[in-house]
Amino acid sequence: MANITIKDIAKALNFSVSTISKALNNSYEISAETRKIIIDYANQHNYRPNRLAKSLKIGHTNSIGVIVNSFFSSTFLAQVLDGIHKASNEVGCDIIIMQSYENVANEKACLDSLISKGVDGILLSPVSETSNSDYINLINEKHCPVVLFDRLNPEIKTTKIGVNEYKGALEATQHLIDINRKRILFITGDKFGDNNQRIQGFKKALKNLDIPINTRYMVFCSLENTDEMDAKISNSILGLIEQNIAPNAIFGATDVITTRSLGILAKLKIKVPEEIAVIGFANTDIAFSLNPSLSAIRQPAKDMGYLALKKLIELIECESNTKRTSLYETILLETSINIRKSTTL
C-alpha cells in the first residue's frame, strides 16, 4: 500500500495542509490537542515523511558521514558504530560509513567524498593526532560540523569525544609493575608520537617508580597491514631474546595489537603469563575465553559513539558558527581495567 501524504491526512481530518505540516513538526502554533489528533492519525496510518522533499526545503540531506580506520578488524570500532547507530535511530538520520584504513591520503579522500555527498556533519576517528588537520578545520568552518572521537587531534577546533587513555595506560603499566614485570614491551602504532596519551601514561608509570625507559622496549608498528604488524612484533621479541634482555610483559596500545600479541606469543611457543604477561587496550567481548583469558583496559566504546553523534547533532542545529564554537568541548570517558589470566601469576 502506498504511503499516505500530508494532503491525505489533511483531507481525512479536515485540516489545512499547513496545519498538518506544522503539527508533524511540533510547531508551537498548533495546540497540543490538535497536534495529538494529527500525530495519532499519522502513526495509525504509517505516515512517513518525504525526506527528499524536506531536505530540499531546509537545505539538509539528513545524512551523517562516519570515517573510521577499519571496523572489520576492530571490535572497539564495531562497538563505537553500534553506539552511533543507536543514536541515529533516535534522531532519525542516515549514516554513511567510510574507512581510511589507517592511511592519511585515504582519510582525505573519504572527507572529499562525504563533502560531495552533502552530508550534514561528519564523525571522524583520525588516522593520527595530526592527520589532515588544516583540511578538517576548513571543513568544520566552511562546510559542515566535524566531531572527533577516539583519537583526538589537538590542532582541530571542535567537539571531541574520547577516553581517559592516560589513566588507562597508567593503570595497565602499574598492574604489570605490581606483579614484578618491569621489562615491558610497549607496542603502539607508528603514526603516534611522544605526545600520545597512552605513551605518556606508560612512561609516567615507569617514572613514578624510577624504572628507566629503554627505547628498545618501545615498538612502533604499522596499523595498516596486520602481516607487517605481526612480523614487527615477532621480530622485536626475538631480537630482545637474542640480546638476553627478553621482555617479561607486553602492553598493547590498541585493540588489534593486544589481541594479536597473544597469537604471536603462542606461535613463538612463549608461555603466557609465565614468560611474558600481556595486557592492553582491548574491547573484545571474548577476552575471557581467549587462551589464556586476556587482561585488558576496556573503553566505553558504545557510549563514545552514542555521545559523539548526539553532540554532532547539537552542532548541526546551531544557527551560526559563533554559537557552534561556544559549544565545543572535549569529553573524556573513563576506562576500566579487567584482570584475567594473561597477567595472573
What pLDDT score does 57 carry? 46
Higher pLDDT, residue 99 or 194: 99
Tell me the average pLDDT across 140-165.
93
What pLDDT score does 49 carry? 66
What pLDDT score does 291 carry? 83
Give the range with max mean pLDDT: 22-36, 64-78, 106-120, 306-320.
106-120
Contacts of 127 (CB under 8 A, 6+ apart): 69, 100, 102, 103, 104, 106, 107, 151, 191
What pLDDT score does 278 carry? 96
Tell me the average pLDDT across 38-53.
74
Going from the N-terminus, what domains does the chain have, and what CATH number goes with each? Answer: 6-49 (no CATH), 61-162+301-334 (3.40.50.2300), 165-299+337-343 (3.40.50.2300)
Q: Inform me whether the pLDDT recorded for 53 exceeds 70.
A: no
The mean pLDDT of the chain is 89
Q: Which residues of 251-281 are buried (b: 16+ CB within 10 A; e: fewer)?
A: bbbbbbbbbbbbebbeeeebebbeebbbbbb
Tell me the average pLDDT across 307-330.
88
Q: Inform me whether the pLDDT recorded for 159 exceeds 70.
A: yes
Going by pLDDT thresholds of 50, 70 and 90, the confidence category of residue 56 is very low
What pLDDT score does 1 carry? 44
Residues of the chain above pLDDT 90, percent: 63
Q: Inform me whether the pLDDT recorded for 2 exceeds 80.
A: no
